Structure 1
Amino acid sequence: MACFILYIYCNPFGNILAVYTVFSASDVGPCRRLSPPLNANVFLRKWHKIWFGLVRHKNYVKGIFDFLKLLINCLLALYFKLSPNFNQTRRFFDSMVYKDVVAWSSMITGYVRVGNPNYSLELYTKMIDLGFDPNGFTLSAVIKACCEIRDLKLGCGFHCVVIRRGFEENNVIISSLIDMYGTNYDFSSALKLFDEMPEPDAVCWTSVISALTRNELHEEALGLFYTMHRRNGLLPDLFTFGSVLTALGNSGRSRQGREVHAKIVTAGLCGNVVVDSSLVDMYAKCGVVDGSQCVFDRMDKRNSVSWCALMGGYCQKGEFDTVIELFRTMGEVDLYIFGTVLRACAGLAALKSGKEVHCQYLRRGGWRDVIVESALVDLYAKCGFDNYAYVIFRQMKVRNSVTWNSMISGFAQNGKGAEAIAVFEEMISEGVKKDYISFIAVLFACSHSGMVDEGRKYFLSMINEYGIKAHIEHYSCMVDLLGRVGEVEEAESLILGAEFRNDASLWATLLGACTSSTNPTVAERVAKKMMELNPDYHLSYVLLANVYRAVGRWADALEIRRQMQEKRVNKITGKSWI
């Protein structure tokens, strides 16, 4: 049949008259009633019913060209369906003498589907230049292309075209616009579009739920899901459940996750690889790794998402050995799985296993990824090979904040404070966005290198210049830094002025510094504060008794020892291996 259509296309005016006479008189109906784009299978199914007849002369010429367009679009549909090479489809499209808006829309949509959104936008521009008016399918395709390339400005331009051409009530186009705004983190515009819809269908509900999930508005996304399901009576599909499970996983709601799991079973969607992979990911992010493993074991087909989700759950739980075992049992390795396995190797400081994974990554040949290479930097730094980590760091074409933080932390952990600060300064000069982890790393480097002035400078700049709120980890680094150089009074003042002034871990850090301090007054205050916050912490009693003995207050020292016995606070015996 395809050969027959091709023969007609190549010899239109020699053979089309007889064929048109046959086809137009059949029970398929006039050609103009078949709404494009046509499915080639319709043509095949109806062919055996064609019978000869006559048509009126005034419709004959117009019918010939309608039928010719039908055949050409039918053949284009066959190329889309059967040809594995999209370039062949493009060559056929370029060879077409007459192209209508259906053919243009098919090609534009095809480029989006095969992952070439820029080509679809170029084709749209060419189509407009030739004087064709876009239809709903065309606009939906180019809006999806804007979504793929993350171009909010261009997407807003197409939104104006939608309004100007009167497609505001087309649910397919509005759904594409909601996706576009959500992908570009403009959730307010996505919500406004959704609220203005008179009767949104399930696809539109799914689009707005997905947009809220992408913008980490998980509460709002879950609220819309329950509204859609209970009030409007719309049935969620697998994409709706996928977005909802992502929101539940990111918010750590395992109980509600089980409820949604039950709804999925009721809807008969269990066994779908997309839904099952989302369930594995949800349970893993909620810390219910047993639930992830249970769903994973029941899956008939597993993809890279399900493997990566399960391994990520074990990695998050600290079961790094299990991650490495799973990696060795799976077949083809996905890009993101390399990053997860390397994190597990770094957590175990398993250099040999890490090198094996590194070799597999290199054997892919030319496959570069910032997540994997950042994990390699972290692995070698944690294993003590900061020089290897630095070589990988320098060879990376793209670096993100995780890469920089890993390199700074790696130098700091290996006692190279000057190198860590040099990398941090380079990070500042290149304009890389710094987060609270970046400052933990550089303050840790200052603490272990005794760089007091630099530590004070970075701590103040973090709060005043970058507007980053100081966490317990930042205060702990500063208290440790000041305590190491004997500035225990300044460290005490820093804790008293902090939001976390009653956190026992900060006072424990300062208490450790007081063991080597020559200031008995501060040591006494810190020990008493620590006894108040954590009465069972033995070091508080030991330190206070030692302070009293140092200044000759023997009776007070004996009283502290008596309190330890009454409260049954035992001094932990030290151990060493020879």
Structure 2
Amino acid sequence: MILTKLKLPLFPKSTTTFFPFAFHFSTSSSHLSHYHHHQQQLEPVTNKPFWTKKIHDLCTKHRNVDEALRLLDTLCLHGYQPDSLNISSIIHALCDSNRFAEAHNRFLLSLSSHLIPDERTCNVLIARLLHSKTPHSTFDVIRSLLKFKPEFVPSITNFNRLIDQFCTDLSVNMAHRLFLDMKNMGQFPNAVTYTTLINGYIRIGDLGFAFKLFDEMRDCGVFPNSLTYSVLIRGVFRKRDVAYGVELMGKLWERMKDEKEDPAVKAAAFANLIDCLCREGYFNEVFRIAESMPQGKGVSEEFAYSHMIDSLCKAGRNHAASRVIYLMRKKGFVPSLLSYNCIIHGLCTEGGCMRAYQLFEEGIDFGYLPSEYTYKVLVEGLCRESDFQKARQVLDFMLNKKATDRTRIYNIYLRAVCLMNDNPTEVLNILVSMLQNQCQPDVITLNTVINGFCKMRRIEEALKVLSDMMNGKFSAPDVVTFTTVVSAILKGLCHAGKFNQACHFLYELVDSGVTPNIVNYNILIDKACKLGLKKEAYQILGEMRKNGLEPDAVTWRILDKLHCNVRKKIVSEDSPL
């Protein structure tokens, strides 16, 4: 039928048969041109290397497994004897095309034809078939392979993957059967095998059998890895049986005390346990562990405490983490810089600034120096609670410890004070302190101060600082900083109900040779429109154009709102008519 379709002459089956290579296997122009090169050649069926390479090229270079199958079938009709290389090429190509069912069937057909690859090739092909994630079909192939090749033993990696796929499908009985077959074949299970099967039993809720396998590991000389402990811990918490969980935890602690196990594995298992406890909300259990340390010497106490602090902070239990700090110090351990930073930052975020400041003072005795971000959060929190005395002490500590970036430290503190909008005296005190300590305020300092004064509606102080900037008392502002400061002052004057003063301020800047930007003018136009001052709004628009600036989309949107308000007012006044 295939020969008729391809319009090929029927040759008798003979090892000396010749037939043309130009079969026109594909309608693809690339294939046609490839085969056209061999149209004048006659290759014998017995030229095995030639046909093996052609089949392999069709499967790999041209990715046309259908043509490779047609070619192989045609060759077989003329006496060609396929080998394991041909079968391997076909199965790989079928798997690459996600035609796994055909790949399984092709492998089974080759076995029934007594075409059995060597052990290494068999393991490679099984690994490819496992990508299908159809464990029952792959298991059928393995059983057929063992029937025709009893000495074959699948690799431990293939066993582990197949067991995992059975467990994923909740076919744990099949997985356990495979596990036993594996041992009978002489393939000794490793930690991955046990962990995979333990995970399968936990998935179906059989925690008892999972722990039996866990105990069996030690009897067989297999040490669990961190994932083994992780799987068991997750299974304990899934049960939601606290009493049973405590009993099982005791077993885990006993195993952790075993000195033969890798310390890194013990540490990872302990960390996983603490993370699970915090995630599930068993904080009292964490404190019990912190006070008694039941893992003994299996895990370093210093590491254990540090990880508890980290997990509690991630769970938002910063006060609880500070309690662990107390336990650490009580036992003579020094908390790390990271631990202090995590807790202080978390406490300030949730409003526990007083406790955060206490930890800050305690940490100073151990050489603690807050990170810049922790310092920022701490002074902002203290300023938010109006405890400027403690905030100032934190500032002084940072200034004494850091010889560089002093201006930046001052700027962070100034920003924290200005956020409160109610302490202009402290702002001025900091400016004076900077000058007394030969720490020159930069443009960020002055921008922060002026914006702060404007938010506090202390426009006179803001104008005074701006005047000092213009007169060279402080560092000269750049264009961006200056226009930002002008915008802040204009907004401050407008919010304070001093529209006329804001206009005079802008005009004075123009008279002194300063060119405001479009944002400065839009602030005044917007305020005029809100006050219903149509004439003044267009007067400011005219001044803007005189200074070479054209209205932007924001300007026209503001003016359009003015006209809409006027129309609404006229309609409302005429409504009785």
TM over 0.5: no
TM-score after normalising by structure 2: 0.32
